[in-house]
Amino acid sequence: FGRPWIFIRGVPSMNFLPPQGPLEVAFAGRSNVGKSSLINALVGQRGLARTSNTPGRTQELNFFVPEGYSGEGHDLPPMALVDMPGYGYAQAPKDQVDAWTKLVFDYLRGRATLKRVYVLIDSRHGIKKNDEDVLTLLDKAAVSYQVVLTKTDKIKPPAVPRLIAETLEKIRKRPAAYPEVLATSSEKVEGLDDLRRAIGETVGY
């Protein structure tokens, strides 16, 4: 993650996907879970993924790659990060939820280069019903995923291992879940190396 990353494309529907090439990992989570903050902290660039409290503003898959690749011919980046649109905000009209599900499910099903989805869960809330729905979607699409707790600085330190254990128990029977839960705080810069290592192992970056 040593070099600058750049935003290459926002994808509102399948027709706009970049050609498959580099291996990808994607990030999903309820809106406000801390997804933009985590992506920014991961690459060490404050403004890469937009941090915003406006729920549901971007219904796009945002693609990021390390700077310096043309993306043409053999000059492909070694990997791509994909920021999936947030889900689960209360006022979302049904068509918007349906559009989200369609975009995400099409992407999950059609993307051979997608190696894993990191599903972010707010440490204060744990896995909620709409997170369960997304995990079920991932199981159906047979795309490997790993749960990452965010904002661990918001709960008491002894509660973290307990929450990890509870979360593991909740995903234990899910076929596509990777049986390890990571704990992070973008604010306190904790758990980021573990996440970088996990991503590195996933895509060989």
Which residues form the interface with ligand GDP (CB under 6 A)? 29, 31-37, 51-53, 86, 150-151, 153-154, 185-187
Is the separation of the CB atoms in 15 and 56 below 8 Å? Answer: no
Helix (H) or strand (E) holding 9: strand 5-11
Task: Indicate the residue among 33 and 80 with the shorter CB distance to ligand GDP.
Answer: 33
Using CA atoms in the order 199, 175, 105, 196, what is the torsion angle rounded to 10 degrees?
-10
- HSE on the CB side for 104, CA within 13 Å? 27
Helix (H) or strand (E) holding 27: strand 23-29
Output the smallest distance, CB 35 to ligand GDP, in A: 3
Alpha carbon distance, N-terminus to C-terminus of the chain: 8
Dist CA 39 CA 66 (whole Å): 13
Task: Indicate the residue among 32 and 202 with the shorter CB distance to ligand GDP.
Answer: 32
Output the smallest distance, CB 187 to ligand GDP, in A: 3
Output the smallest distance, CB 122 to ligand GDP, in A: 8
Is the separation of the CB atoms in 30 and 87 below 8 Å? Answer: yes
Output the smallest distance, CB 184 to ligand GDP, in A: 7
- HSE on the CB side for 123, CA within 13 Å? 23
Output the smallest distance, CB 37 to ligand GDP, in A: 3
Task: Indicate the residue among 21 and 56 with the shorter CB distance to ligand GDP.
Answer: 56
Task: Indicate the residue among 30 and 115 with the shorter CB distance to ligand GDP.
Answer: 30
Task: Indicate the residue among 152 and 202 with the shorter CB distance to ligand GDP.
Answer: 152
